[in-house]
Structure 1
Amino acid sequence: MPQSESAVSAGLAAAGPFSDAERAALYRAIETRRDVRGEFLPRPVPDAVVRRLLEAAHHAPSVGLMQPWNFLMIRSPDTRERVRQAFEAANAEAAALFTGERAALYRALKLEGIRTAPLNICVTCDRARGGPVVLGRTHNPDMDLYSTVCAVQNLWLAARAEGIGVGWVSIFDEGRMRAILGIPAGIAIVAYLCVGYVDRLHDRPELEVRRWAKRLPLDDLVFSEAWGRTEAADEPVAEGGIAPAGGGQS
């Protein structure tokens, strides 16, 4: 027998906008979040704070509520040193892919804080969790990976609110990392994070500060109804059949 409407509604809570202060704090966390590499302080992150970060990550949305994530906590200097060596080997390979001024700039960038951050977290995705058929994943098997990335973002934003920096290290050989951390086959490595307190952050993304790249204009990335169709193309045609200035598809 299907549940009655009243039984279903009993599990609902009131929804509405946050207060102005709460909303401002949320957007501030989003807009000032940075990929931290060289600003970590040696101060340990208390267990209670780490727990709050993990709870935030664990409250991320996941396809079919499969919650595919695990969080491997890494504090040992020996383990972190082996991870750093794996990074250095992969980073040398990556540097060889760039030429000219780009190569020189790449070699000048600091791309990890593995040893200086007091806590490292490897976030993984158990691709078998939830069984062979998962609601919402039937036609896109990568939804579990996307769900795990949502957990990473939740952790990152919560960390920003706590005054804690996070750096995502993506330059490593996966096989070597699996061997160091004992990660079995079937478990995907999604993110290796360096986590620690910071007392200052770049006011813009560091790669923008270092002139490696810059933020693209949002308006260039927003389409309407079909790929490549700009919002301006959907503006109503002015009286007389002449499109407003700037209208039409580019």
Structure 2
Amino acid sequence: MNNNAFTPTEIDTVYRVIAERRDMRHFCGGKVPHDTLMKLLGAAHHAPSVGLMQPWRFIRIQNPQLREAIYDAVQAERIKTANALHEREDEFMRLKVEGVKDCAELIVVALMDQREKHVFGRRTLPQMDLASASCAIQNLWLAARAEGLGMGWVSLFDPEQLMHLLNMPRGSLPIAILCLGPVAEFYPRPMLETEQWATRKDLDELIMHDGWHD
């Protein structure tokens, strides 16, 4: 008997939220109530971070012209990504890869500036600031799913261009454009799997014992 465990029903709910989380691209407008948004950001802020550095910064985009500029930046990178995919270019261009214009809330997640001051846990692995912020994004994603809200992580952008648009300080770094809001329904499977872009690997293929094995 593990006295630290949650109830079986609560445990099942945690695993259900993880299994039903989706990277959403289709939104139906609407709004995210302010209290709910703050709860979601609070969940993100409760993420673990190396040395408790809390490197995440959340920029809520409320200016319509700025949202349009971010959309244009994403579309420009989408074309460059398609070109880099060569034989899969046309297939990629048919995919819906963002919901920037349609989502209720648009949030840019960035790493703070002056991260070099934080050495604890980063001396040999400086990228742990990114890992920490990614945990915050995952917390937000799971909380959003539990609230019945969709979220999509857009990484198709030029960081320098986005920094300029958002007047970010040198040394900071945008890592995600998050589309958040009501959706008509959640995808039954990951969209890229449904669109036959890729398939989820079997877990057994990814587990190794006592060293790396092909």
Is the shorter-chain TM-score for this pair beyond 0.5, marking a shared fold? yes
1:109-188, aligned counterparts within 5 Å?
Answer: 109-129=95-115, 132-188=117-173
1:76-105 residue CA offsets vs partner (Å, 9 max, x unmatched): 2211110000111111111112334x2221
Instruction: Find the aligned partners of 1:118 and 1:26 in 2 and give their Cα distance.
Output: 25
Q: For residues 98 and 136 of structure 1, what CA distance do their matches in structure 2 show?
A: 36
Number of positions where the alignment pairs a residue of Structure 1 with one of Structure 2: 213
Give the Cα–Cα distance (whole angstroms) in 2 for the partners of residues 205 and 166 of structure 1. Answer: 13
Q: Say whether residues 1:28 and 2:28 are aligned partners.
A: no
Give the 5 Å matches for 1:189-200.
Answer: 189-200=174-185
Indicate conservation of the 8 Å contact 1:63/1:147, yes or no.
yes
- Alignment match, 1:238: none
Q: Residue in 2 aligned with 1:52? A: 39
TM-score between the two structures when normalised by the length of structure 2: 0.94
TM-score (normalised: structure 1): 0.81
Pairwise CA distance, 1:15? 6.3
Q: List structure 1 segments (4+ residues) > 6 angstroms apart after TM superposition.
A: none
Percent identity of the aligned residues? 43
Match of 1:77 among 64, 74, 78: 64
What SS is found at the alignment partner of 1:28? helix
Q: Does 1:201 align with 2:186?
A: yes
2: CA distance, partners of 1:99 / 1:190: 25
The CA distance in 2 between the partners of 1:15 and 1:193, in whole Å, is 37
- Note if contact 1:75-1:118 (Cα within 8 Å) is conserved in structure 2: no
Deviation at 1:183, TM superposition (A): 1.3
Change (3 A) 1:35 1:133: closer
Q: Contact 1:66 / 1:134 at 8 angstroms: preserved in 2?
A: no
Residue 23 of structure 1 aligns to a residue whose secondary structure is helix
> 8 Å contact 1:127–1:144 — kept in the other structure?
no
Q: Is the 8 A contact 1:163 1:199 kept in 2?
A: no
In structure 2, list runs of 5 or more residues that go unmatched.
none
Q: Which has more radius of gyration?
A: 1
Shift of 1:181: 1.2
Counterpart CA distance in 2 for 1:224 and 1:206 is 32
Whose RCO is larger (CA < 8 A, sep 6+)?
Answer: 2
